[in-house]
Amino acid sequence: MSVLTRDEAQTRASLLDVHHYAIDLDLTRGDETFDSRTVIRFTVRAETADTDTFVEVKPAELRTVTLDGHPLDPAALDENRLALKNLTPGEHELRVDAAMRYSRTGEGMHRFTDPADGETYVYTQLFLDDVQRVFAAFDQPDLKAVFDLTVTAPEGWTVLANGITEHTGDGHWKAATTPRISTYLVAVAAGPWHSVRTEHRGLPFGIHCRRSLAPHLDADADELLEVTRGCFDRYHEKFTEPYPFDSYDQAFVPEFNAGAMENPGLVTFRDEFVFRSAVTDTQRQTRAMVIAHEMAHMWFGDLVTLKWWDDIWLNESFAEYMGYQTTAEATRFTDTWTDFGVTRKPWGYDADQRPSTHPVAPENVEDTASALLNFDGISYAKGASALRQLVTWLGEKDFLAGINIHFERHRFANATLGDFIDSLAAATDRDVHAWADAWLRTTGVDTLTPRITGDNGDRALTVDHTGSRPHRIAVGLYDRDLTDEGRLTLRSRLDVDVPQSEPRPIGKRPALAVLNDGDLTYAKIRFDTESFQALRTGLAGLPDPLTRAVVWNALRDAVRDGDLAPTDFLDIARTHLPHERDLALVDGVLTFAGTQVADRYVTPEQRPAALATLTDLCRDLIRRTEDGDHPGLRLIAVRHRIATAAHPDTIAAWLADGTVPGGPELDPELRWRILTRLAVLGATDEAAIAAELAADPSATGQEGAARCRAALPDPEAKTRAWEAMFATDDLSNYLFTATAQGFWQPEQADLVRDYVPRYYAEAVAVAARRGPAIADAAGRWAFPAHAVDTDTLRLGRQCLDDAEPIPALRRKLTDQLDDLARALRVREAAAH
């Protein structure tokens, strides 16, 4: 499929005004294809001479095409482009009749049959350039148009779309006409949905899921709608522009590649957010944040849309920042920035230190394939961190004033970074353009280190700064609690601008100085020697969870940079994590300790001791939560106890009993976790997996079974799993991921050694055949991350040099190989 270049998009936008799409979809044509008929009305600008352009469509069969009543040859379709030649100035009408393929990879029109009850559902995911898999379009974000949609669906189905839908009889549905929106934001979801509907502020609201999840959606409906209403009302307090669409539906759809998608009026979410097993409050908070994030897009992304994909950050950074901030303001989840600090921000830090890094706002994104790669930790986490620093520097009042100027200037149109900065500049006297150059056009992570000088009670603080960005931070000065050596109390919190003009007097020496206390900027921080020693005994005694998140991130960065031995990190975790009560912190630290420290950063010889440390830590947390007052904390401890089990006895007994002693009882999610770990350890077999699947024949059960089967330490099982991923194209995106997650295990390095050199060529081939979504899964989950050795690194670099992987896979391999090289450096540093 030819990708659209920036130059081509600019040329086409200079030639055309697109006014209206009439789209008719027939979903009753079978399991493989659906019919798509499109009428596009557009104008060629009068100042242009007779000109050529093209429309995009990727059909199974292109039946007929007519331009202004004259037939065009369907055979002239070149890959996904149909040339429109010798267009004269004035109005034109293009009609396209095609059969389109359903997708099994979450792209275009995805089709899913629920194994729990046999019901079928379809939904669109048209981002970034997948609209052409569903209907013909001038597919670029700055050619906005009005859309009218009709759908023919099987009897008993409900059709959802960007606007209110009406069933006109005999399976025919009509959606209300949209305002001007971009092609990638058109949405359809059809099937026998279970729906909960209500109204708020005169608008219809709905939440929808497949029928087999109905009891779980109903159980959480009040919470979901309460969060939705709270965020909706809060945005109307922040924004002067009212919600710009006629309804607000949220559909939880199966096998969704992203967390969610901001289709105006019809947000689609991955249906794991309909919780069917026990979850922690942090997971509920994450779901609330995603709801808030997608709702922010209704204004920033949908009402005002980027002109080209170099301004992805205008969508995602804004929604990420607003999602966390508004969740904290409008819902019961008030500690969202702690979760951001320990789970999202490291995503940005890691991405920004790889060869694939890019500015938050890159200046030249050449084509759509390149643009897709920039939906990463920089566009989301770093960009949101930059906006949080901007609000700290600018003040929230001026920030929101600039936002509202931006909405007023560009409503239902497109805008660039320059437009956004101009809008902010109109609301403040500060030099926002200089700020944007320093923060949005640069790459890399600054580092801040405290230096305390002077004698006795006449001390001064200097913040040493490696990097180029200005920072406004808080510095927390902490003293030891005289009544409890394990506690650190806040003496004062200083506001400091970096670079500093002069050292800051602080009086007597504090036990601990924490830079970026409150986590208001984006930078790695370090500790002076005395502060680090204080942390070793007093980390758990810091009073604020956000401060502790800053400290844990600093320790994490120190491990990754080779400045703190992985075993020392585990010792600090073992000492302090049993006393931690913030769920996001416990889960984040344990996840890093398990998946990075134990699985990659320590040597194979050190790994059993690392797992034993984590097992003991989890056992302590389980013991400390026996009173039942901390179910979320206990659930996290149980999950990680399962993941770190080096011997099967305890978790096998849990599975046999159906419960952890003292709780919780094992729900399907926990049962599949245990069975997967037992498979890795060789303590279960195909009969047990089949029995578990018979008890839980859901889609999640199918994924659990695929994961377990791939994890079995049996040569035949590995062969079957490998062939399922790479020799056939039968696996859906989710089943491919589940199989890949089970395949590579550190405990099975010898068994799978011969597959490591095979991986590169076969991943390149499957990515080329199946496209970006499978390429992402093959690069992220099927990569042999456990194989931390120079041969794996050499083979990977050779693949990048010689094999020409498609861009989505190349980016993933580049990142994976950089992480592998870092793991080797960490091991080498720890050895010395």
Q: What is the pLDDT of residue 16?
A: 96
Mean per-residue pLDDT for 780-808? 98
Mean per-residue pLDDT for 285-292? 98
Euclidean distance between CA atoms 370 and 382, whole angstroms: 19
Active site residue 485: no
Mean per-residue pLDDT for 781-807? 98
Sort residue 594 into left (φ over 0), alpha (ψ -120 to 50) or beta. alpha
DSSP label of 137: B
Euclidean distance between CA atoms 692 and 658, whole angstroms: 12
Euclidean distance between CA atoms 287 and 227, whole angstroms: 9
pLDDT digits (tens, 9 = 90+) for 559-589: 999 999 999 999 999 999 999 999 999 999 9
pLDDT digits (tens, 9 = 90+) for 89-108: 999 999 999 999 999 999 99
Contact assessment for residue 120 and residue 113, using Cβ atoms and an 8 Å cutoff = yes
pTM: 0.98
Euclidean distance between CA atoms 385 and 382, whole angstroms: 5
Closest CA to 591 of 650, 528, 522, 639: 639
- Token pair listed for 26: 């027939």
pLDDT at 162 over 80: yes
Mean per-residue pLDDT for 616-626? 96
Q: What is the pLDDT of residue 482?
A: 75
Q: What is the maximum alpha-carbon separation in the chain?
A: 90
Euclidean distance between CA atoms 723 and 742, whole angstroms: 14
Other CB atoms within 10 Å distance of the CB of residue 292: 30
Contact assessment for residue 645 and residue 614, using Cβ atoms and an 8 Å cutoff = no
Contact assessment for residue 729 and residue 708, using Cβ atoms and an 8 Å cutoff = no
CB burial of 106-135 (b: ≥16 within 10 Å; e: otherwise) equals bbbbbbbebebeebbbbbbbbbbbbbbbbb
Q: What is the CA radius of gyration of the chain?
A: 27
pLDDT at 82 over 90: yes
Please state which of the ranges 4-18, 46-60, 392-406 shows the lowest mean pLDDT.
46-60
Alpha helices in 331-377 (DSSP H): 336-339, 345-352, 368-372
Contact assessment for residue 45 and residue 88, using Cβ atoms and an 8 Å cutoff = no
Average pLDDT, the chain: 97
Residues with Cβ < 8 Å from 641, sequence gap 6 or more?
615, 618, 619, 622, 650, 651
Length of the chain: 832
Closest CA to 828 of 562, 568, 589: 562
Mean per-residue pLDDT for 115-141? 98
pLDDT digits (tens, 9 = 90+) for 168-207: 999 999 999 999 999 999 999 999 999 999 999 999 999 9
pLDDT digits (tens, 9 = 90+) for 672-685: 999 999 999 999 99
Tell me the pLDDT band of 48, cut-offs 50, 70 and 90: low
The single residue listed with the structure tokens 């609201």 is: 205
pLDDT digits (tens, 9 = 90+) for 724-739: 999 999 999 999 999 9
pLDDT digits (tens, 9 = 90+) for 308-362: 999 999 999 999 999 999 999 999 999 999 999 999 999 999 999 999 999 999 9
Closest CA to 304 of 436, 202, 405: 405
Q: What is the pLDDT of residue 761?
A: 97
Q: What is the pLDDT of residue 46?
A: 76
Sign of CA pseudo-dihedral 723, 724, 725, 728 = positive
56, 107, 272, 294: which one is catalytic?
A: 294
The three-point CA angle 110-26-141 to 5° equals 60
Instruction: Respond yes or no on whether the N-terminal peptide bond of residue 800 is cis (omega within 30° of 0).
Output: no
Mean per-residue pLDDT for 600-607? 97
pLDDT at 606 over 90: yes
- Token pair listed for 709: 């089967």
Mean per-residue pLDDT for 298-308? 98
pLDDT at 483 over 80: no
